[in-house]
Amino acid sequence: MLTPTLILALLVTTSVAQNDPLAAIAQALNANGLTAFAGLLPTLNQSAVGQRLFRTLLAGGKLSMFVPNNQALSQVPQDVANNADLLSNIVSYHVLQGNFTDPSRTVTSQNLPNVTIGRTLLNDSSFVQLEGNRSQVLVWGKESNGTVRILNQPNNTTVQNVTIFNDLGIYSIDQVLTPPPSFSQALVAGNTASPGLSTDAALALLNNTSIPGPDGNNVSFTNYLDGPTVKGFTFFIPNNAALQAAQPALASLQGNASAVRVLLGNHIINGSTLYSTTLTNSTSASGETLTFFTNSSGTYVSSGNLSTARITATNVLTKNGVVHVIEQVLVNTQENPAAASSAYNQATSTAPQTAAETGPVSSPTSTSAGNNSNTGSTNGASSTFKNALYSVVVIVGNIVGAAFIM
C-alpha cells in the first residue's frame, strides 16, 4: 500500500529549481494535505504518458484535477503505484481540460438527476476506444445536500474540498477514480450498484445472441460490443420490465429474422457516443430517425414516430460508448439501409475533426447539462428484445450483425 509522504516530490529526474511550475503544483498539493498524490509525481515522470500529462499542465490554459486524498491513495496496491504507465493512465482520468470551478469556488455541477460531463485526458487505446480517438469522459452531479458525487464508480465518490492554484482547479476526492470498463462489465456493475437499472435480462439475451466477429467467426453480441471493432456507440437498452411488457408484440416477430435484425438496429446509434447532455435527433443503425424530447415526466426517445420510450437511467459509461436504460422496447421494424450507411460514414468522418471540449460536454444548442432535446441529425440508437426471441435471434445472428455498419 502507498504511504503518504510529507516530503516535497521531485517532479523530474534532476533537481528542480524553486520557480519550476511543477514544483509549485507539488507545493500546492502538499499545502492542502494531498501529500500522497504529490509523492506519486516522480513515478509519473518515468512514463511517456506521465510526461505528456506534465507538458499539458505546463502548457498553460485552464485545467481541472480531481485528486484522491491520502486515505484513498493508501488503498492503491503497491504494484499499481509502482507501474508508471498504468498509474499515469489512471491519473489522466482525473484531469480535465477546462475550467470546472464555478464563481462560488465549488465544482461546476448540475443538480441530480441532471449531470455535468467533462472530457478527461485519458485516451490510451488500452483504456478507451471512442470515435475519433476521443478521450474518455467523467460524469458527476450535485446531491440535494450540496455534495458533489462522481458517478459510474465502484465506490461512492464525493468531492471533499476545492483549491484554486493559478488556472488549475484542484478538487480533493475520497476515492481513486476507475476508468469505464467494457460494455458487459459496465452493465453488471450497474445492476449490482443500482438494482433499479434491471438490465440483466437484456444482458443475458445478448450473451446468447451470436453475430459475426471481426475474424468472421460467430461471437456473442456482448463480446462483439466488448471487442475492439466497435468504436463509439449509443445503446438504449430496455430494462427487465420493458422486455416483459413487450412480449406480445415481440412474439409476433418470432421466426422473422429480418424484422428482429431491424428492431435491434433501431435501438443503436453506431459510430456516435451521445451522452444525456448531447442527445440530438439521430439515425439508428437500421436507418430510422431517433428523436428526443423532454417534459415534466422525463426525457423520451422515439423511433421513427412508431414507438417511444422514457429514458430511466443515463450515462452508463463503457470503454467504447455509452448506455442509456429505457422502460419500453422500441418496437419498430422499419429500416432504411442507405440512411444508416450515410449516417455512420458521416459520424466516422467528422469525429476526428470535432474540437476538444474545454468545459462541460454538451450540444451546441444545449441550455443545461441535464437531459435535453435538439433538432440536428447525426447517427442513431440502441437495444434489445425478449425471452421469447432467444432461439430466433441466435438463428439470425449473421443478419443481426448487419445492424452495425463497420
In a domain, 16, yes or no: no
Across 154-306, where does the E strand assignment appear?
157-165, 168-173, 210-212, 218-220, 233-238, 268-270, 282-283, 289-295, 298-303
Does one domain contain both 378 and 242?
yes
Of the residues 173, 202, 224, which one is the last residue of a structural domain?
173
Strand partners, 140: 116, 150
Q: Is residue 1 part of a domain?
A: no
CATH number, domain at 112? 2.30.180.10
Instruction: Give the pLDDT score at 391.
Output: 28
The CA distance from 406 to 151, in Å, is 31
Q: Name, in order, each residue with C-beta under 8 angstroms of 68's C-beta and a sequence gap of 6 or more.
A: 36, 37, 94, 172, 173, 174, 175, 176, 177
Residue 3 falls within a domain, yes or no? no
Q: Does residue 386 sit in the same domain as residue 301?
A: yes
Same domain, 312 and 378: yes
Last residue of a domain, one of 117, 140, 173: 173
The Cα 58–Cα 16 span in angstroms is 14
Q: Based on the domain organization, do 155 and 244 belong to the same domain?
A: no
Residue 145: domain span? 21-173
pTM of the predicted protein model = 0.85
* Residues 233 and 139 placed together within one structural domain of the fold: no
Give the model's pLDDT for residue 15.
Answer: 33
Averaged pLDDT in 10-residue chunks for the chain of 406 residues: 36 40 85 93 92 87 94 94 94 95 92 96 96 96 96 95 91 97 90 73 83 83 90 95 90 81 90 96 96 95 95 96 96 94 91 85 55 42 27 33 33
pLDDT at 264: 84
- Say how far residue 239 (Cα) sits from the centre of its chain: 19
> Based on the domain organization, do 230 and 121 belong to the same domain?
no
Peptide bond into 113 cis (omega under 30): yes
Number of domains in the chain: 2
Q: How far apart are CA 297 and CA 315, in angstroms?
A: 18
In a domain, 5, yes or no: no
Q: Is there a domain that residue 247 lies in?
A: yes
Q: Which of 235, 209, 239 minimizes the C-alpha distance to 223?
A: 209
pLDDT at 398: 32
Q: Do 393 and 263 belong to one domain?
A: yes
Residues 191 and 164 in one domain: no
| CA 252 – CA 388 distance, rounded (Å) | 10
Amino acid at 400: V
pLDDT given for residue 259 in this prediction: 84
Same domain, 199 and 155: no
- State residue 393's pLDDT score: 39
| pLDDT for res 223 | 92
Determine contact, residues 147/158, Cβ cutoff 8 Å.
Answer: yes
Task: Give the model's pLDDT for residue 214.
Answer: 80
Are both 34 and 116 inside the same structural domain? yes
Instruction: Say which DSSP state 86 is in.
Output: H
Q: Does 318 map to a domain? A: yes
Asked if residue 178 is part of any domain, the answer here is: no
pLDDT in tens, 341-394: 999 999 988 888 788 888 899 875 443 333 333 334 455 333 222 222 222 334
Alpha helices (runs of H) in 99-173, residue ranges in sequence order: none
Is residue 45 domain-resident? Answer: yes
Nearest CA-CA partner of 373 in 239, 251, 248, 274: 274
Amino acid found at 19: N
pLDDT, residue 367, reads 37
- State whether 265 and 393 are in the same domain: yes
Cα distances from 112 to residues 116, 144, 203, 292, 314, in angstroms, run 9, 8, 27, 20, 11
* Residue after which a domain boundary falls, among 119, 139, 173: 173
pLDDT at residue 216 in the model: 82
123 and 75: one domain? Answer: yes
